[in-house]
Amino acid sequence: MGFTLTSHYRKEVCIHAGGGTNLGMGLTSQCPWAIHRGQPNKIQILRRIFMADQKAPQMQATLGLTGLTANAMALIAPGAFLWLTFFIQATTGVANQPSTAPAMWLGIFLSLLLCLATAVAYAEISKLYPGTGSSYYYAEQAMLSKDKAFKYARIAKFIVGWGSHLYYWVYPGVMVAVTGLFVGYIVGFLYPNFLSGSNPGPVFTSLVAIVFSFFVAWIATRGAGASTAVNIAVNIVQISALVVFSVLALGYRSSHPSGAPAFNYDGQTLATYTYQFATNPKDGSVMRDSSGNPLPLLDRTGKPVPFTIDYPATDSSGNMLAHPNAASVIGVHRWSWVFIQATVAILILVGFESVTSMGGEAKNPTKHIPIAVIASLLIQGLFCYLFEYFCANYFLNSGYTMQSAATSAAPIGDMMIIVGDYLLGHGHGKYFMLAEAITVFLALIGTTLACLNTGARVTYAMGKDDEVPEHFGLLHAKSLTPHRSIWTLAVISAVIGVIALSMAFGDAGAPTDASIAALPHNIFSSFGYSTHDKMAALPNSLLAVTLTSNFGTFILYGLSCVLCIIAYSERHDKHVLMHYLIPGFGVLANLTCMAFYLAGPFFNLGTKMEPLTALGIAALWGLYGAVYFIRSSKAKGKTALLEARETVVSKQSAA
């Protein structure tokens, strides 16, 4: 074939091949254990060793502790997710039934405990096996370290890698979808005659999702150094902006006791008013003038009735409106609601494990990656998320209720307008909202960039192992990025984003008929909206895609906790708490959340259509994976069970 293996690889092939004739690849009679042509699995091993011996581009170790932590923090991105997912969390439930939103804060806290247990598992196992591929790579190494279980290494890593793609390939699609809603809200605010900010049309938001997907992919192909620089800047900006908004929201609630004059927010005009709205006695809809502005409720003298604030817990139908006190924000309300909210909240906390896929680019992976995993989750989850979600939930009032949030594309944007009017003067809150929106968009770039990088590197690791098409395992000659994986993921993200936006206001998020009638009549705004009843009967596509990504997360995190237990099971340095009890809790917590996808619909615990849709997608993905594994193994001459430990191959996988 015109090449010769080095003496080092000749030796390794002799050790791992296992007897036979000369293949004419630099192996001579000096090697008594050459590979038989009838042993295709071992020929495959030799081919991979040869590929590793060539001078192909390899990832460079350029990231220190700061860079690794910044990449993980950017994926968690509290500045973006508070804005983007509050709507999803507010609409998690069944149309015309009480919302699960009262348990939003505690659901996040439960998810945080689950993630902390999983983070410990990742941190501990990354100390043993620094390399590119995250849990996919860990699965192989953990099994190869066992005297009897090593034969299952290939099956284990494929299951973990394939399952992780349900998370890593769907999650970026969720991010580009919510970016479409975010941009739609801003454009609708600036140009209300073109687009509705509260209910932007699926055509416009889908176009934004497609463009944004390829824009972020372009940044990702520039290399890890460029991505890290962007993420460090994004983290500083978004956390600062987050603290400012949270403090102002807390101050607004504290300075407006029940009965005090306050602002009444209108979701159609995206503006605040100082009077109560006149409503239609037939359907309760807000009455408006010819320009669409809400008409004031008049007293006996014909003067507008001033709006005074209150904090009612529910409306006459039992739907949540506001938290009467701080204890209500962190209260249980119903445990079923807590678990349902936790299955959604996992979306905002994932990402701490992303740095484990960058072992090939870390200067000191065994030391810095474990620290980065834990530090990113503690900073973003324990401090930022719990603080900001408390403030946002505590802010809710009769002028802007949870029901208002459930029918808006950007509830946090609405809240920013209200607190901005309070801070800067009536009518000036829009400037505060737009300034904060810039930081949110930067955070969106950072978090989408981080998840694209992570997903592409897991696909790259599988391509390098020839478990998926080999072209995914190639690096760009100049940027040293897995460019083919990145661009493929960009296409997938764009498609998933469009699907997620097709019925983003379905089920419990369906707008009223009056709101639909008020939409600007053009293809970018009103196309895709039918009637309230028809939309309420359809699953919320954004929530369904989100739950699909989250289900993949639970699978990956649960398996990673199991891998930590396996990896340390026969080691002398194992610790009962760190390597058994904490990962064991992580396994149990992940399984419990997964069980709610199935138990919830049958026990009438929250929404039905979306979790069942997510389960169906996950089942199809698993079935396709099994078929692909069997056919691919047969075509490539691989066996499912290893006959010998592929230690040399593992070293190359880590490169």
* CATH number of the domain enclosing 548: 1.20.1740.10
Say whether both 30 and 108 belong to one domain: no
Q: Which of 609, 537, 86, 91 is nearest to 319 (CA)?
A: 91
- Residue 29's Cβ-side half-sphere holds a number of Cα atoms within 13 Å equal to 0
Please answer whether residues 444 and 179 qualify as being in contact, where contact means their C-beta atoms are separated by less than 8 angstroms. yes
Q: What pLDDT was estimated at residue 223?
A: 67
Q: What pLDDT was estimated at residue 93?
A: 65
Please answer whether residues 132 and 360 qualify as being in contact, where contact means their C-beta atoms are separated by less than 8 angstroms. yes
Q: What pLDDT was estimated at residue 434?
A: 92
- Residue 505's Cβ-side half-sphere holds a number of Cα atoms within 13 Å equal to 28
If one compares 63 and 191, the residue with the highest pLDDT of the two is: 191
CA-based torsion, 165, 167, 136, 234: positive or negative: positive
Residue 12 predicted with pLDDT over 50? no
Please answer whether residues 469 and 477 qualify as being in contact, where contact means their C-beta atoms are separated by less than 8 angstroms. no
Q: What pLDDT was estimated at residue 487?
A: 93
Which tens digits make up the pLDDT trace of 339-353? 889 988 888 888 888
| Residues 6 or more apart in contact with residue 54 via CB below 8 angstroms | none
**3-state SS class at 277:** strand
Q: What pLDDT was estimated at residue 653?
A: 41
CA distance 530 to 515: 11
Average pLDDT over residues 30-49: 45
Say whether both 445 and 367 belong to one domain: yes
Which tens digits make up the pLDDT trace of 406-430? 888 889 999 999 999 999 999 899 9
Say whether both 46 and 151 belong to one domain: no
Q: What pLDDT was estimated at residue 133?
A: 63
Average pLDDT over residues 101-118: 94
Chain centroid offset of residue 93 CA? 20
For the ranges 10-14, 59-63, 180-184, 205-209, the lowest mean pLDDT is seen at: 10-14
Q: What pLDDT was estimated at residue 25?
A: 38
Q: What pLDDT was estimated at residue 318?
A: 81
Give me the domain span that covers residue 35: 7-53
Average pLDDT over residues 230-257: 87
CA distance 88 to 70: 26
Chain centroid offset of residue 538 CA? 23
CA distance 183 to 74: 20
Q: What pLDDT was estimated at residue 395?
A: 97
Q: What pLDDT was estimated at residue 646?
A: 55
Instruction: Please check whether residue 83 lies inside any domain of the structure.
Output: no
How would residue 647 be classed by pLDDT, with cut points 50, 70 and 90?
very low
Say whether both 29 and 143 belong to one domain: no
For the ranges 32-41, 131-140, 390-399, 605-614, the lowest mean pLDDT is seen at: 32-41
How would residue 74 be classed by pLDDT, with cut points 50, 70 and 90?
confident
Average pLDDT of the chain is 83
Average pLDDT over residues 610-621: 92
Instruction: Please check whether residue 609 lies inside any domain of the structure.
Output: yes
Say whether both 43 and 102 belong to one domain: no
Residue 143 predicted with pLDDT over 80? yes
Q: What pLDDT was estimated at residue 38?
A: 45
Q: What pLDDT was estimated at residue 72?
A: 76
Q: What pLDDT was estimated at residue 3?
A: 38
Instruction: Please check whether residue 350 lies inside any domain of the structure.
Output: yes
Using the 3D structure, point to which of 53, 74, 89 is the last residue of a domain: 53
Residue 54 predicted with pLDDT over 70? no
CA distance 197 to 177: 15
Q: What pLDDT was estimated at residue 586?
A: 93
Average pLDDT over residues 48-55: 46
Average pLDDT over residues 8-27: 38
How would residue 23 be classed by pLDDT, with cut points 50, 70 and 90?
very low
CA distance 92 to 389: 16
Say whether both 351 and 226 belong to one domain: yes
Point out which residues pair with 271 in neighbouring strands.
266
Say whether both 32 and 121 belong to one domain: no
Q: Which of 596, 535, 556 is nearest to 342 (CA)?
A: 596
What percent of the chain has a predicted confidence (pLDDT) above 70? 85
Say whether both 38 and 139 belong to one domain: no
Which tens digits make up the pLDDT trace of 380-401? 888 889 999 999 999 999 999 9
CA distance 312 to 42: 70
Instruction: Please check whether residue 584 lies inside any domain of the structure.
Output: yes
CA distance 134 to 377: 17
Q: What pLDDT was estimated at residue 113?
A: 93
How would residue 654 be classed by pLDDT, with cut points 50, 70 and 90?
very low
Please answer whether residues 230 and 242 qualify as being in contact, where contact means their C-beta atoms are separated by less than 8 angstroms. no
Instruction: Please check whether residue 64 lies inside any domain of the structure.
Output: no
616-645 in b/e form (b: 16+ CB < 10 A) is ebbeebeeebeeebeeebeeeebeeebeeb
Please tell me the total count of domains within the chain: 2
Average pLDDT over residues 434-452: 85
| Residues 6 or more apart in contact with residue 85 via CB below 8 angstroms | 178, 344, 347, 348, 546
Instruction: Please check whether residue 297 lies inside any domain of the structure.
Output: no
How would residue 294 be classed by pLDDT, with cut points 50, 70 and 90?
very high
Please answer whether residues 79 and 593 qualify as being in contact, where contact means their C-beta atoms are separated by less than 8 angstroms. no
Say whether both 327 and 226 belong to one domain: yes
For the ranges 154-163, 232-241, 464-473, 542-551, the lowest mean pLDDT is seen at: 232-241
Say whether both 31 and 114 belong to one domain: no
CA distance 465 to 480: 18
Q: What pLDDT was estimated at residue 96?
A: 60
Residue 31 predicted with pLDDT over 80? no
Which tens digits make up the pLDDT trace of 271-285? 999 999 999 888 788
Which tens digits make up the pLDDT trace of 185-230? 999 989 999 999 888 999 999 999 999 999 999 988 886 555 667 7
Instruction: Please check whether residue 450 lies inside any domain of the structure.
Output: yes
Say whether both 47 and 122 belong to one domain: no
Instruction: Please check whether residue 79 lies inside any domain of the structure.
Output: no
If one compares 45 and 5, the residue with the highest pLDDT of the two is: 45
Say whether both 20 and 148 belong to one domain: no
- Its pTM stands at 0.77
Please answer whether residues 246 and 257 qualify as being in contact, where contact means their C-beta atoms are separated by less than 8 angstroms. no
Which tens digits make up the pLDDT trace of 554-566? 999 999 999 999 9
Q: What pLDDT was estimated at residue 57?
A: 58
